[in-house]
Amino acid sequence: MTETADPLVLDFVEWIAREPRAYSEVVGTWKTSCPRLTIWEDAAERGYVARETIAGFGLVVTVTEDGERLLRTHGRMS
């Protein structure tokens, strides 16, 4: 099954894949006032990123296995 990916969702997932990001950093960096740009929500709903709590660090956003697979499929990760 081939999946068509939104380039902004790919960019977002790739950014998260570089390193786990603090939830506050993700929200601050990727917030938008446009209801049609739902990059963060789209990536989370599709299972490409997940929120988790890491002791001593707090709430972070990490890339999931599905997110890594998406990046490999689109040549963004080896």
What's the pTM?
0.84
β partners of residue 59: 53
Read off the pLDDT of residues 5-43 as tens digits, 9 standing for 90 and up.
Answer: 689 999 999 999 999 899 999 988 887 777 767 788 889
Residue 78: CB atoms within 10 Å: 5
- Which CATH class name applies to 7-73? mainly alpha
Read off the pLDDT of residues 55-76 as tens digits, 9 standing for 90 and up.
Answer: 988 999 999 999 999 999 999 9
